[in-house]
């Protein structure tokens, strides 16, 4: 079944091309799989002058999935996922140590296709953390989603999208039950095809207008160009960001972005072997070339 997608999907491809994977951190990720099927992953990250390290493992047995993670601050978190407890149901239980004290145990129930076109997510953290309910409805020409949060104050978020495969109209708002008011209105129009993705988003009660445009120069999307224009009506301010992506071959991808404040960012992604890649990113201030650039490095090795 095809649908116009969720409200958050409008303009997402253009935003991802401008923001995804750009980082000025140093990160190394190593993954391996043992003969018994246990997946081990170790990640080391340097942000500024601080280092962080975590080790995680994942093991799946029949319909049960166990995830275990330890970080440099001796925090231990464990998540149990069980599929097929009931038809179309997933049960997830997570515990974080050492500060759980029987109050940091969270449980989530995910029920998909319980009814035609529906996906229901129920999440509760006991005993003093917020209750969160999520409901998504997908149809051929409409999508509806709502999220209910009980703490710190009751809040209900609504979003709806109507349209066809190529055109979508959407709206989103938040209702503050404590104050009895609707807040954070947003509306959007999105158009998509094999060659382009365009979106117009109005936020802040119409005071902020964002326009996204993504164009692919060929069917295989080897070369793409993207633009983001933001207009703040009350302040009469404009912000412009342009970017592009070029896929040299199956192993090499290059992309860059530039905004009107003179910030230039570039990213080189190299596939060193199947499932393993190296990403080198840099950010430069074109108006202050005497400042040293910010350089990021990410290496992921998977057997």
Give the contacts of 228 (CB within 8 A, at least 6 positions apart).
Answer: 14, 15, 18, 210, 211, 212, 239, 240, 241, 242
Q: Please, what are the domains in the chain? A: 7-301 (2.40.160.10)
Q: Following DSSP, what letter does each residue of 23-50 receive, concatenated?
A: --SEEEEEEEE-TTS-EEEEEEEEETTE
Please report the pLDDT score of residue 75 as a whole number: 74
Question: Does the pLDDT value for residue 128 go beyond 50?
Answer: no
Q: Please report the pLDDT score of residue 101 as a whole number.
A: 46
**Of the candidates 247, 254, 250, the residue with the CA atom closest to the CA atom of residue 268:** 254
pLDDT category at 177 given cuts 50, 70, 90 is: confident
Report the pLDDT value the prediction gives residue 100, as an integer from 0 to 100.
47
User: What pLDDT was estimated at residue 257?
Assistant: 95
Question: Over the stretch 223-236, which tens digit does the pLDDT of each residue have?
Answer: 999 999 999 999 98
Element (H, E) at 14: helix 12-19
With a cut of 50, say whether residue 102 has pLDDT above it.
no
Which of 160-163's residues contact partners 24+ apart within 8 Å by CB, and which partners?
A: 160/7, 161/3, 161/4, 161/5, 161/6, 161/7, 161/9, 161/10, 162/4, 163/4, 163/190
pLDDT tops 50 at residue 152: yes
pTM reported for the whole predicted model:
0.76
């Amino acid at each position: 079944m095809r649908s116009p997608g969720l409200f958050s999907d409008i303009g997402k491809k253009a935003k991802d091309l401008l923001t995804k994977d750009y980082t000025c951190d140093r990160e190394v990720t190593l993954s391996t799989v043992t003969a018994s099927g246990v997946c081990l992953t170790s990640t080391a990250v340097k942000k500024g002058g601080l280092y962080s390290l975590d080790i995680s493992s994942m093991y799946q047995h029949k319909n049960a999935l166990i995830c275990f993670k330890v970080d440099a601050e001796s925090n231990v978190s464990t998540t149990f996922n069980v599929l097929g407890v009931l038809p179309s149901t997933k049960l997830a239980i997570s515990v974080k140590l050492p500060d759980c004290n029987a109050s940091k145990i969270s449980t989530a129930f995910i029920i998909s296709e319980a009814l035609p076109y529906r996906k229901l997510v129920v999440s509760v953290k006991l005993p003093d953390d917020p209750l969160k309910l999520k409901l998504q409805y997908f149809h051929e020409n409409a999508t509806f989603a709502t999220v209910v949060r009980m703490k710190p104050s009751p809040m209900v978020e609504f979003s709806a999208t109507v349209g066809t495969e190529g055109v979508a109209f959407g709206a989103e708002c938040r209702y503050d039950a404590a104050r009895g008011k609707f807040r954070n209105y947003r509306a959007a129009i999105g158009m998509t095809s094999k060659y382009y993705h365009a979106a117009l988003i109005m936020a802040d009660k119409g005071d902020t207008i964002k326009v996204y445009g993504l164009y692919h120069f060929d069917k295989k999307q080897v070369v793409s160009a993207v633009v983001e224009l933001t207009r703040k009506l009350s302040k009469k301010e404009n912000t412009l960001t342009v970017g592009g992506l070029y896929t040299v071959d199956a192993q090499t991808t290059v992309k860059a972005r530039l905004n009107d404040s003179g910030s230039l960012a570039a990213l080189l992604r190299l596939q060193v072997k199947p499932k393993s890649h190296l990403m080198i990113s840099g950010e430069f201030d074109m108006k202050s070339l005497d400042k040293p650039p910010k350089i990021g490095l990410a290496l992921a090795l998977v057997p």
